Structure 1
Amino acid sequence: MTSNKTNAGRFFEDYAVGDVIRHAVPRTLSGGERALYHALYPARHALYSSDQFAQSCGLRGSPIDDMIVFHTVFGKTVPDISLNAVANLGYAEARFLKPVWPGDTLRSTSEVIGVKQNSNGRTGVVWVLTRGLNQHDDVVLEYVRWVMVRKNNLDAPVPHAVIPELSDVVPVSELNVPEGLDFSAYDTELAGEAHRLGDYAVGEIIDHVDGVTVEEAEHMLATRLWQNTAKVHFDATNRPDGKRLIYGGHVISMARALSFNGLANAQIIAGINSGAHANPCFAGDTIRAWSEVLETAQTAVPGVGAIRLRLVATKGDAGILRGDDGKYAPDVLLDLDYWALMPT
């Protein structure tokens, strides 16, 4: 007799607007996650590498890297949100609300805020608002994402379409500046670059020069590290081409790490305005990155500025985003619009 104790994941017809899902398996983070993260990616931002540097910037020590927090919170959601996803379509309204410190325990909850069945009748799009909370029940991260999910029962009723209205940009006034952050004694020599907020111009394109060829083993290690169980990342039989899809977060972290060369002082990711995985990434692809400066602003904290950047991961040349048809160029892997905090 076959057991029915295993979890096949949710399908499109299993979601309804207003559902709140408490995701399983809280995770306590330590210096181990940081060491593995810095081994997987060329991450070199000083604030996340040195307690002493972070303390010189007014913090009690070096916090856990922002993208470690994102991947951890995201990974908790996969068994409930995207185990049967066809594609992770985008992100919006992400805010990093509190630093996460070694020893903190994170868990995730998601609220379904939108559903829409596709015209093919075989898939639909689900929008969720996900929150990551620490052991004190403080929200450390929140974001909206939307995924295309398979239907299991093709005859299931078509739900009333609800498409949430999402902001194009997180207002600077809603970005969190970590308590105590003070860049008045900021050491640009130790940080690795002299460029402060005033040195960047809107419209400027920064080619981050370096490239990293993605390997299957590193991708598999990273995806397991974040406890991401999405089938397309592990099971080569899950795709018609027989390839394992590189986790989109792996591409985000690689591009963010590569951006150090030209944006070493963009220390803290404060918000993600939008994000799209433009084309799939597979083992053997070489990821390069470039950034476009979209906006600069002063936060409410003296000396702490905010820079809005378009970060593009690509297999091609810097500055090329879309073709003449308006679609993403085939070499573009990621288009991420985010806010970072840096000294003015």
Structure 2
Amino acid sequence: MKIMTQYKDGNYAIEVARGILEDRIGDYTDKYDQVFYLADKNVYQLHKNGKLSFIEDPILMEQGEASKYFDAFSNLLETLLAKGVQRNCLLVVIGGGAAGDAGGFAAATVLRGVDYIHVPTTLLAHDSSIGGKTAINSRHGKNLIGAFHRPKGVIYDLDFLDTLPESEILSGFGEVIKHALLKDKETVDALMDVTKDGIALDMIEPFIIKGIETKMEHVLRDENESGMRKHLNLGHTLGHAIEYTYRMPHGIAVTLGIYAALYISNELNQEDTFDLACFYEYFRGLGYPVEKLKMLEASDMISLMTKDKKNQTSGRVGYIVLEEAGRARFTQIDGKKLTKFINDLKESL
């Protein structure tokens, strides 16, 4: 399936199917004088004798979030410069969301900007590969140093998902849940129904497509994250704080953040819009450690959340809540009130 972006200019294709990488890659690489393959080193080791056997002399990136540390990012830029990178080059970034973030930011910064495409290899990256946000981490928090830099294309070969460990599937599925909640109640109900006995990749592929379409709808309306695109951060405000503090995988931390957002939504709506007991059992049944929300220290979480990029007012935290499935809104919550919400959430578990 091919989904074309619909910006005013600079559009690109998001291609999603099984077995498409080697057939489609030449349509991009043939246009450039130089091509550099930047691959997550774990992904390359898994596929160097198979799907990635056509690649010669790849630049290997640190696995996962380690690629977004300053030292790793600096080494990546220095490697590109040592290899004589020129403006008319293409970076082919192969890996999950972290590789896409770091590789995309390398493309945005080296020589003041070169072209790149992303080849996502994880379920989580079906979200992060769309929209042109690139970033690395700081000791002050996640994704605080970055740029908006659109890829020239996304080739999402679903064959890569077959080699994912269960923990990676669980992490990536959190973003699928998020997109369903942003879409509508019917999508949420359908997703929960087909995954009630576990996450089978062949069963959720249609929801991956729906998730990409949902994200594109938000991004096209608000590319620079000044309004509607913020809704895509559902679960991420607290989720990033959990991830950063407890070194929890991104998608799993975000799923805990989603559960917290549902709780806070009920509180702000002053009604039980969402059946929290149902979501708690659903998340627990899939393997998400929702009970770990009990260990949160509200003061630590608030300290990190006040540094979030979405905040507009000192002492208040920008938060995405849901009036119902399919109706998200951005609100600013006072730190004291948010502390009470977190403590009350812990008591409810």
Bin for the TM-score computed over the shorter chain = under 0.3
With structure 2 as the length reference, what TM-score do the two structures score?
0.26
- Larger relative contact order (Cα-Cα within 8 Å, sequence gap ≥ 6): 1
Normalising by structure 1, what TM-score? 0.26
